[in-house]
Structures are given as C-alpha cells and as structure tokens.
Structure 1
Amino acid sequence: MTIDMSKANTNFSSQPLLQIDLSAVVRNYQALAKRAGSAKVGASVKADAYGIGAERIGRVLFDQGCRTFFVAHALEGAALRRATSDQAEIYVFSGPTPGDYPLFFGENLKPVLNSKAQADLWNEVSQGRHNHPPAAALHFDTGINRLGIPEDEQAYFLTQPYQFDIDLVLSHLACSALPDHELNAAQLARFQEIAKNYPDIRKSLANTGG
C-alpha cells in the first residue's frame, strides 16, 4: 500500500495525537446526571483525569454542575481546587499523609480513609484545630482486596468518637465490567450491611467506569 504524503494533513507527525471533545464530556456528564435521578454524580479525575487534563476537565464539569471530585493524592487535589472553586468537594483516594497536611487543611481536601491507621492519624491531626477539620470518607473493602478498610477493622469504626465528620461511605466494585459476575451481588450485599451503620451519610458503590 502506497500513501501519497502530499495529500496528508500538513500537521502530520510521527507522534500520536489525542483530541478531546469537551462537548462530548459535557453530554456524557449530563446523561449520567439524568440517569442518576436524585443521586449525585461525582467525577474521578485522578492521574490527570487519566491523561486528558484534570484541570480542564474539572472546570468543564464544574460549570455543568458537578460538585464532587475524586483525585489520587493531595497535590492533584490542590491543583484541581485552583482550577475549579471553593465550592468543589474534593476527595483524596490515597488518604492523609503527614507531609500533605498543609494541603488538606489549606485547600479543604477531604481524605478517603482506607484503614484504622489512617483514621487514627487523621483524628490525631484534627484534634486541637481551631477551624473545623475537613470531613472524611470511609472506604470499605467489600471484595476488591486491594484498597479499603478490611473486614477485621470495620467494627472498630462504630465505636470511635472521632474529632472529624464522616460525610461519605464508599466501596469499589471489582468486576462491574462483567454484569453477571457473582462478586457484584456479593459486594452489594456486603455494602448494604455496612451502610446500615451509617443511615444519614451518603453512599457510593461504584468504580471509575460507573
């Protein structure tokens, strides 16, 4: 096969080029928000929104009414805060680390707590704060076996008088791309049992793809 390069785009390059249609991002968000009904749709924009630009995507989604975002670590959260608004609710999946405390408190980032150790750490640093510390999310492992509060630590969280608020309870689906996989039902049942202990707190059982 012969390619006539004289007819090629003048911007032709040997390097790959990814073009992002922001109007498609908007349509996708609007479709999900409509389908969600009274539930809120949050956006996972970790790893620079999977390489397509977290700050730009964050601004576009914020302008469409999205107020809840998830990032991988505190530096991503700080950049997203500057790109969006003080009204954006930004959760950090990796949880708190001592070197990032100034970012969590200065940028009002919410840690996702994945273990007893992380919860105790956040509780300790929250004590004595004159301003109310950011609320946190509890991430329970219901079967992915990769990240989240393990089953043998989950009862601990029902007995602790933490100095911070908990405003989200979540878990991560392991096999949602396979709708008929038996683990989906098992994780849902497990999450529903956990959720009974947090009746007035928002819940999320999903993965990045939905």
Structure 2
Amino acid sequence: MNDAPTRSLPNDDVTAVSKAAAGAVLTIDLGAIRENYRRLKAKLGSVRCAGVLKADGYGLGAAQVASALMREGCDIFFVALLAEGIALRKTVGAGPDIYVLNGLPPGSEPEALAAGLCTVINSGVQLKAWRAAARGAGRRLPAAIQVDSGMSRLGMAPAEVEAVTKDFGALDGIDVKYVMSHLACADEPRHPANEQQRMEFERLRAMLPAAPASLANSSGIFLGPSYHYDLARPGAALYGINPTPGAANPMLSVLRLEAKVAQTRSVEKGAGVGYGHAYHAEGPLSLATISFGYADGWLRRSASAAWFEGVRLPFLGRVSMDSIVLDISALQPGKLREGDLVELLGPSQSVDDAAGHAGTIGYEILAGLGARFHRRYVNA
C-alpha cells in the first residue's frame, strides 16, 4: 500500500450546484463503494484488485471514488483516456499506479510521463512510440501490454504479438508490469467465448516476457479462480451494477437520484400530455412535472416511473430535455407539493431496473448522469 495522502471528504460534499439551485439531487454512498470493493477482494483472495475509474468513475466522481478506494488499500487504478489519468493524478498524489486503457494518442507521451502515468500498449504503433519515449527519457518506462484474445476491440493482434517475439529489441526500455486482455462475454457464464478467450490469452502471453497477468473484469471475477490471474479490474460492480445478471446482485446499491417537483396540476379526460400529445388522459388525473430530463442523462426512450414514499408514479408522455410529467393520482390530494423530491434511482428502482426499462445496460445509465445535479457524498 502506498502512503500517498487521500482527500478527506465531508459527509455532505457541496458541489458547484447548490441543493437549492439544482433540479435534482444525486447522493453517492462512498461507504457502499468501499464495501463492494471489500466483497470483490474477498472473492479474489490473495489476487490484487484494482479500481476502474473511467468516465469520471462511471459518472459518480473519480476523485471521490478513488479517495474511498485508497482507504481500502487500493493502489492501482485504470482510466480510459490520458486526460482522465492526468486529472486523477492530481487527486490521488504520486503513490498509486494509474494505467490508461486506450493507450496514448500519438505525440502525447511527454504528457503521460509528466503525470507519472502507465500506458496500456494496444498496438505495434503504441509500442514503438513508448519505446522511443523510454529512450528519450533515458530510463525504463512501465507499461501493461494488452493482447486481443478475441474481443476485436483493443489489444495487440496475434500477428503483432508474434512479431514482438521475433524482434529482440521490441521491448527495449519497457518495464512490462502486466500482460492483460479483456473478456467480451463474462456476464454470460456459460458462453463458450469465455473459455476460448482464456485459452487464447494463455497462448499469447506465453509469447511475451514473463509478467503478472490480468484478465477478469467485474463479471470475470465471478467466473472463478482460473480467470483471476494476478490482478482483477472491476469497474461496474464497484458502483452497484449486478455483475451476475440473472442472479441476485451481490453488490450494494451506491446511489440515490431524486428530482424536484416543479409544478402540479389537474387535467380532465382527453387532455394531451407532453410533446406530440403522445399520451391522452383517459380520465381526470393529477399530474406533477419534475425538473429532470434527457439533458440529465435519463434516456428519451425510457418508459419508467418515479416513487414518492413508496408509491409508484408512472411517467406520462415523452421525456423532455428538462422535464418529465408524472401521474400522481395514486397520492392523496396535496400530498406531493412543489419542491418535494421524488426518487428515480434508489431503493425503489435500481440502476439495473432503470436500464431494463430503457432497453440498455446499467453502465450507460451511470455514465450518462448529467452535471446539473447537486451531488452529495455520504459515508466518506
């Protein structure tokens, strides 16, 4: 474990958007994220466990999540982009290792060096550039080498790996910390691609210098020890997304999203609601409009509901950019008033539930959460 300082957060971390000014409140439970990390560590035993903080910690705040994970002993992080790595380094200090999953854009190597980042080498072009950077720096530079074991997304193709074995100087100046790959179907335990990828990973890494290996993502951790290797790289599971679809979620929920009521009204039978009059009242209704919409990351194609004191309040009509209309007829008149908060994500509806309504995955829901919320970090 490193001895870099972690940023102390109060239980109510006031963001740039005040609670009074915001149309919605996003509460992130850092204690739940820490517990999820502990659960994953228990599953892994002695295997190291990193934290994936790409897309600003899956939309929940990379700086705050990193601080929480460091308190649990996490000292290795993965981001997607160089810009994310530079920003994270300013938060976590010099101690933790930070790997850039997508590798470095051409010509950006000096920025990565200045920030003390480790690149993930995905191609022969990236390998050549990092080797040149090491030569210019006059020292060996750390990196992970990613091989494409069958996802056809990122990683050195088999032919490129084979070329490395024939070039004795290919890895000059490069300190290979990990050989890694990524599973395409880990959330489907019986999918034959999982074992096919594991076997291809074994074949490809055998061509490279001996180094610790990393293959398992969140769902990969639950495929069993043969997928764990030396380092696991969970992301979604840390943030409460179910890594075992079809089974009970072994992770804790980490967030609550609530939107403010902007206005209430009553309408008569036949009244059109929202753009295109996509809904017409089938009888007298009580409605509430909330200050929340697709600009806040709630997908326009979503068909779902909000909750107030455990009562389901269906959406009516289309999701607008800044507002959604709710049917509040199930509540007693006057029960819900302007300024009250209704729950969109939380105990009544998980991220995975909301994703199911939208025909997408929890990752997209989290990554799309907007910047207009008042954000509260609790149990720091």
TM-score between the two structures when normalised by the length of structure 1 = 0.87
User: Could you give the per-residue CA deviations for residues 8-53 of structure 1, whole angstroms, max 9, x where no partner exists?
Assistant: xxx7999454321111100011111122112100111001011110
Corresponding position of 1:145: 152
Give the 3 Å change call, closer, same or farther, for CA 76–209 of structure 1 in structure 2. farther
TM-aligned CA distance change 1:66 to 1:141, over 3 Å: same
CA separation in 2, counterparts of 1:107 and 1:53?
A: 20
- Secondary structure of the equivalent of 1:28? helix
Q: Do the aligned partners of 1:109 and 1:134 also contact (CA within 8 Å) in 2?
A: no
- The corresponding residue for 1:168 is 178
2:201 is matched with 191
Report the equivalent of 1:205.
Answer: 215
CA pair 195-165 structure 1, distance change in 2 beyond 3 A: same
Matches of 1:177 and 1:12, distance apart in 2: 40
**CA positional deviation for 1:197:** 3.5
Q: Is the 8 A contact 1:95 1:113 kept in 2?
A: yes
SS at match of 1:176: coil
- Which amino acid counterpart does residue 41 of structure 1 have in structure 2? C
Tell me the equivalent position of 2:112. Answer: 104
Deviation at 1:194, TM superposition (A): 2.2
Contact 2:161 2:208 in 1 (8 A): no
User: CA 1:185 to 1:23, structure 2 compared with 1: closer, same or farther past 3 Å?
Assistant: same
How far the C-alpha of 1:103 sits from its partner, in A, is 2.4
What is the one-letter code of the residue matched to 2:61? Answer: G
Residues in 1 aligned to 2:85 and 2:140: alpha-carbon distance in whole angstroms: 16
Among candidates 137, 142, 149, match of residue 135 of structure 1: 142
8 Å contact 2:102–2:154 — kept in the other structure? Answer: no
Select the structure of larger CA radius of gyration: 2
User: Can you give the 5+ residue segments of structure 2 that lack an aligned partner in the other structure?
Assistant: 1-18, 221-380
Distance across 1 between alignment mates of 2:140 and 2:91: 22
CA distance in 2, matches of 1:82, 1:185: 39
**Equivalences for residues 25-36 of structure 1 within 5 A:** 25-36=33-44
SS of the aligned residue for 1:49 comes to helix
- What is the DSSP-based 3-state SS (H/G/I as helix, E as strand, rest coil) of the residue aligned with 1:172? coil
Q: Percent identity?
A: 35
Amino acid in structure 1 at the alignment position of 2:80: A
Distance 1:18 1:133 in 2: 43
- Relative contact order (alpha carbons < 8 A, sep ≥ 6): 1 or 2 greater? 2
Find the partner of 1:53 among 46, 61, 66: 61
Q: 1:7 maps to which residue? A: none
String of CA shifts for 1:166-197, please: whole Å, max 9, x gaps. Answer: 11110010000100000001001111122334
- In 2, the alpha carbon distance for the partners of 1:208 and 1:180 equals 16
> Which of the residues 148, 154, 166 maps onto 2:161?
154
Paired residue secondary structure (2:215): strand
Amino acid at match of 1:56: Q
Q: SS state of the match for residue 64, structure 1?
A: coil
* Normalised TM-score (structure 2): 0.49
For the pair 1:182 / 2:208, whether they are aligned, the reply is no
SS at match of 1:128: helix
Q: Which amino acid aligns with 2:40?
A: L
Contact conserved, 2:162 with 2:207, CA < 8 A, in 1?
A: no
Per-residue CA distance 1:82-120 (angstroms, 9 max, x = gap)? 111311000001212244323211111001011011101
**Which amino acid in 2 is paired with 1:80?**
L
Call closer, same or farther: CA 1:209–1:103 in 2, change over 3 Å: farther
Measure how far apart 1:133 and its partner are: 4.5
Q: Separation in 2 of the partners of 1:13 and 1:181? A: 48
CA–CA separation in structure 2 for the residues paired with 1:144 and 1:17: 38
Report how far residue 65 of structure 1 moved. 0.5
* 2:150–2:197 Cα contact (<8 Å) kept: yes
Greater helix share, 1 or 2? Answer: 1
| Kept in 1: contact 2:81–2:103 (CA 8 A) | yes
For the residues of structure 2 that align with 1:208 and 1:98, how far apart are their CA atoms? 30
**AA aligned opposite 2:211:** I
1:202 Cα deviation after fit:
1.2
Residue in structure 2 matching 1:76, options 63, 84, 93:
84
Contact 1:126–1:133 (8 Å) recurs in 2: yes
The alpha-carbon deviation at position 200 of structure 1 amounts to 3.7
